[in-house]
């Protein structure tokens, strides 16, 4: 595999250890390629185009190596180094490649990330979504583009807190991840509707509500079942306890809408699926500001008395059938995998002792295998090396 050269939009290389931070959130090298990054494969691109029509005339000069700037502890980590916002939208064609790109690897390689256009934001989560993409075609990198997701917030040049109103539907910054399903490339945020993007030039097509079947919100980490092509996802709301599980067929039509009863409005960032189960985890990050936090204006905080549970329900099933298992207080942003081991469901995830609390973020993660037996009423966490030691009962 070769290395694709070119200049960063900011012209500055990483100074802070971005990889260490992504590991803390459960987004290591594999996790990034599956979550924050997406691949729209196919010899002619995901939309059937070759990429030629979308190519703008722009330079293809390779960048030069620049010494990294020292990390400044007086500035937020998301405003410097490799997290620093990119200030311009660019198009570069005929990218220089060091080594070779296999000619079979054709398609569009894309990533999404928070990028406040003014260079500063109250938190990393509050920047506008910016999509970066590289078109690969028959052994060549034919173009690079970066484009803002044109949400109403981006057009108003306001973040989620400044914009006002309840987060949901089009009212979100679409800045977390992407998924390609049923011929659509979708940009995703924490809450709200996804935004469809053009695979020809990364321009924003518009908000996508699944033809009226999607409720107020959809989270950023849907799962595509490789055996069926079905898309599984969920949404939660900020101002009331509401969690809804959805599934869409391979053509993108939602055919499962299943509310799940929860007692408290908490942040539920990710979930997992096996071939038989949908698995949710809830940690005690609740909504409302806390003056003891390093970022006291952020509208969520750690509540040590809040709920901490793992729930297992049938894939494509009813939320009423979910079984909850209480676990010790912790928080999980991202899961890495889930599978069945006999009667048990095994989760592989990155566990944090807490999040959005007085210690700040990120805290060191604990790679954990969590095993649950749906009939036992128990869920336990084990070090990865001890995963096989537990047997928690038969499924209900």
Residue 109 has pLDDT above 50, yes or no: yes
User: Do residues 166 and 296 share a domain?
Assistant: no
**CA 282, CA 260: separation in Å to the nearest integer?**
12
User: Do residues 205 and 288 share a domain?
Assistant: no
User: Do residues 212 and 96 share a domain?
Assistant: yes
Within-domain flag for 15: yes
**CA 22, CA 33: separation in Å to the nearest integer?**
12
Task: Answer with the residue of higher pLDDT: 62 or 362.
Answer: 362
User: Do residues 22 and 93 share a domain?
Assistant: yes
**CA 48, CA 40: separation in Å to the nearest integer?**
11
The stretch 43-70 carries a mean pLDDT of: 49
Residues 6+ apart with CB under 8 A from 67: none
Which residue, of 188, 220, 252, is where some domain finishes? 220
Residue 339 has pLDDT above 50, yes or no: yes
Residue 293 has pLDDT above 50, yes or no: yes
User: Do residues 89 and 153 share a domain?
Assistant: yes
Confidence of residue 124 (pLDDT cuts 50, 70, 90): confident
Task: Answer with the residue of higher pLDDT: 298 or 20.
Answer: 298
Burial bucket for residue 384 (CB in 10 Å: 0-12, 13-18, 19+): exposed
Output the CA–CA distances (angstroms, integers) from residue 242 to 67, 103, 115, 284, 395, in the order listed: 48, 47, 29, 15, 26
Q: Which segments of 45-177 does DSSP mark as H helices, in order?
A: 152-156, 160-163
At residue 265, the pLDDT reads 93
Which residue, of 180, 204, 220, is where some domain finishes? 220
Beta strands 231-236 and 223-224, pairing class: antiparallel
Within-domain flag for 314: yes
User: Do residues 29 and 164 share a domain?
Assistant: yes
At residue 319, the pLDDT reads 96
19: containing domain = 1-67+77-220
Confidence of residue 357 (pLDDT cuts 50, 70, 90): confident
User: Do residues 287 and 163 share a domain?
Assistant: no
255: left (phi over 0), alpha (psi -120 to 50) or beta: alpha
At residue 110, the pLDDT reads 97
Residue 203 has pLDDT above 80, yes or no: yes
Q: How many domains does the chain have?
A: 2
Within-domain flag for 190: yes
Task: Answer with the residue of higher pLDDT: 50 or 287.
Answer: 287
The stretch 65-83 carries a mean pLDDT of: 84
Q: Which of 29-33, 133-137, 194-198, 348-352 has the lowest mean pLDDT?
A: 29-33
At residue 235, the pLDDT reads 97
User: Do residues 327 and 187 share a domain?
Assistant: no
- Do the beta carbons of residue 262 and residue 240 sit within 8 Å? no
The stretch 126-146 carries a mean pLDDT of: 94
Within-domain flag for 44: yes
Residue 391 has pLDDT above 70, yes or no: no
Within-domain flag for 286: yes
The H-or-E segment that residue 18 falls in is helix 18-24
Within-domain flag for 242: no
**CA 225, CA 227: separation in Å to the nearest integer?**
5
Percentage of the chain with pLDDT > 70?
Answer: 78
- CA geometry: angle 192, 42, 178, nearest 5 deg: 15
> pTM for the full model?
0.80
Confidence of residue 196 (pLDDT cuts 50, 70, 90): very high
CB atoms under 10 Å from CB of 341, counted, come to 14
User: Do residues 278 and 216 share a domain?
Assistant: no
For 2-44, the pLDDT digits (tens) are 545 443 333 333 333 444 434 444 443 222 222 333 344 333 3
Which residue, of 220, 245, 264, is where some domain finishes? 220
Output the CA–CA distances (angstroms, integers) from residue 299 to 206, 285, 328, 357, 387, in the order listed: 27, 10, 24, 12, 36
Dihedral over alpha carbons 302, 305, 310, 312 (to 10 degrees): -120
Confidence of residue 267 (pLDDT cuts 50, 70, 90): very high
Residue 202 has pLDDT above 50, yes or no: yes
The stretch 164-187 carries a mean pLDDT of: 92
Task: Answer with the residue of higher pLDDT: 150 or 33.
Answer: 150
Residues 6+ apart with CB under 8 A from 54: 135, 143, 198, 200, 201
User: Do residues 198 and 282 share a domain?
Assistant: no
User: Do residues 212 and 345 share a domain?
Assistant: no
Q: Can you read off the two tokens belonging to residue 143?
A: 């173009």
For 308-327, the pLDDT digits (tens) are 999 999 999 999 999 999 99
Output the CA–CA distances (angstroms, integers) from residue 30 to 23, 35, 190, 387, in the order listed: 10, 9, 21, 21
Residue 119 has pLDDT above 70, yes or no: yes
Within-domain flag for 239: no
- Token pair 């298992």 is at which residue? 325
At residue 63, the pLDDT reads 53
- Do the beta carbons of residue 8 and residue 18 sit within 8 Å? no
Task: Answer with the residue of higher pLDDT: 138 or 16.
Answer: 138
Q: HSE of 320 in the Cβ direction (CA atoms, 13 Å)?
A: 0
Within-domain flag for 232: no
Residue 59 has pLDDT above 80, yes or no: no
User: Do residues 358 and 283 share a domain?
Assistant: yes
Nearest to 138 by CA among 51, 68, 75, 65: 51
């Amino acid at each position: 595999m070769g290395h694709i050269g070119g200049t960063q939009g900011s012209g500055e290389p990483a100074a802070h250890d971005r990889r260490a931070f992504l590991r803390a959130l459960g987004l290591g090298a594999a996790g990034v390629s599956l979550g924050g990054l997406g691949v729209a494969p196919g010899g002619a691109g995901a939309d059937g185009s070759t990429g030629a029509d979308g190519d703008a005339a722009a330079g293809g000069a390779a960048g030069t190596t620049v010494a990294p700037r020292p990390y400044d502890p007086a500035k937020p980590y998301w405003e410097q180094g490799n997290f620093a916002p990119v200030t311009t939208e660019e198009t570069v064609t005929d990218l220089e490649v060091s080594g070779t790109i296999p000619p079979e690897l054709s398609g569009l390689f894309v990533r999404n990330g928070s990028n406040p256009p003014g260079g500063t934001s109250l938190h990393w989560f509050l920047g506008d979504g910016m999509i970066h993409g590289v078109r690969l075609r028959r052994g060549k990198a034919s173009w690079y583009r970066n484009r803002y997701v044109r949400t109403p917030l981006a057009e108003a040049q306001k973040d989620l807190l400044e914009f006002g109103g309840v987060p949901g539907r089009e009212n979100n910054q679409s800045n977390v991840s992407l998924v390609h399903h049923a011929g659509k490339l979708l940009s995703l945020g924490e809450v709200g509707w996804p935004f469809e993007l053009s695979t020809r030039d990364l321009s924003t097509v518009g908000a996508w509500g699944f033809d009226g079947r999607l409720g107020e919100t959809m989270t950023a980490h849907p799962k595509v079942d490789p055996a069926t092509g079905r898309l599984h996802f969920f949404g939660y709301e900020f101002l009331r306890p509401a969690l809804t599980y959805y599934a869409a067929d391979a053509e993108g039509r939602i055919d499962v809408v299943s509310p799940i009863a929860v007692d408290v409005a908490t942040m539920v960032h990710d979930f997992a699926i096996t071939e038989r189960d949908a698995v949710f985890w809830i940690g005690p990050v609740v909504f409302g500001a806390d003056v003891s936090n390093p970022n006291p204006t952020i509208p969520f905080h750690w509540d040590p008395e809040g709920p901490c549970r793992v729930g297992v329900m049938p894939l494509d099933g009813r939320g009423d059938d979910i079984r909850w298992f209480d676990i010790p207080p912790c928080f999980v942003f991202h899961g890495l995998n889930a599978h069945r081991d006999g009667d048990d469901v095994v989760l592989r995830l990155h566990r944090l002792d807490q999040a959005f609390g007085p210690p700040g973020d990120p805290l060191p993660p604990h790679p954990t295998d969590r095993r649950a037996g749906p009939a036992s009423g128990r869920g336990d966490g084990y070090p990865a090396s001890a995963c096989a030691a537990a047997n928690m009962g038969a499924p209900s």
